Amino acid sequence: MTKARNNMTVFGLTREEIRRKIQLPWSEAFRISWRYVTIRIGRSLVTASTVFLSVAFLMAVSTMILSAKSTGFIAEDDPAFRATLARYTWSVILGFMICATGIVSALLMSVTERFREIGTMKCLGALDEFIIRMFLIEASLMGLFGSVAGAVVGALLMLIWAGIREGFSLWAKIPWGFKSATGEWGFLAYFLASILAGVFLSVISAIAPAWRAAKLQAADALRTEI
């Protein structure tokens, strides 16, 4: 049945051929997403700040553990260390859950404000895939900026705090690369992992709002009064 429907012709073109012809490129989706991020800079900063705080806390905890290991101050088989690590892990998870809620709320509000614009884009030929792509790119941009800033600030604050407490000579003992001499993960690995976690969380949180925007009927969106 689906195959037969796709083989129906309009002005000599099948539905599948028409679908391919009106596909918009990734560059256009990126351009529109970037414009929305810059136009609504206040809301974008608020959304990115939730990612910033979550990633900053994650990176601060990672840097603290890495610096403590580097000085031999803690051992992984220490029960006190395991209990502390469990508490910090739970705190990080809660922070990311709150962050995800904030991103979903902000993007749902953005979808509501842009009903007419989404309806206009659909009337001009934008497919559901393009609408979803646009919102996911927008979320990933805010997540990237918030994650990079959060990782930098979280690491710096914890490094300064550890330097004041243990002496700044501690910095020379920290493995700054991907792995330490013992084969454990180094600072750069934690830094990149924190950024990827923030971006991944932003994209995952944006799926539901993006899906809602894509499923809007063009006529209903154009009739909506905000």
pLDDT of residue 43: 81
pLDDT of residue 70: 72
Sketch the domain layout of the chain as residue ranges. 24-223
Over residues 189-211, mean pLDDT: 92
pLDDT, tens digit, for every residue of 155-192?
A: 999 999 888 887 788 888 888 888 766 677 888 999 99
- Residue 174 contacts residue 70 (beta carbons within 8 Å): yes
Closest CA to 148 of 110, 211, 94, 197: 197
Over residues 201-223, mean pLDDT: 81
Portion of the chain with pLDDT greater than 70, in percent: 79
Closest CA to 100 of 50, 135, 58, 146: 50
pLDDT band for position 21 (cuts 50, 70, 90): very low
Which pair of tokens denotes residue 12? 């000599």
pLDDT of residue 77: 61
pLDDT, tens digit, for every residue of 213-225?
A: 888 776 665 565 5
pLDDT of residue 52: 94
pLDDT, tens digit, for every residue of 113-144?
A: 777 778 787 777 777 888 888 889 999 999 99
Over residues 86-105, mean pLDDT: 86
pLDDT, tens digit, for every residue of 23-80?
A: 667 787 888 888 888 888 888 888 889 899 999 999 998 888 888 777 666 655 667 6
pLDDT band for position 108 (cuts 50, 70, 90): confident
Is 0.85 surpassed by the pTM of this model?
no
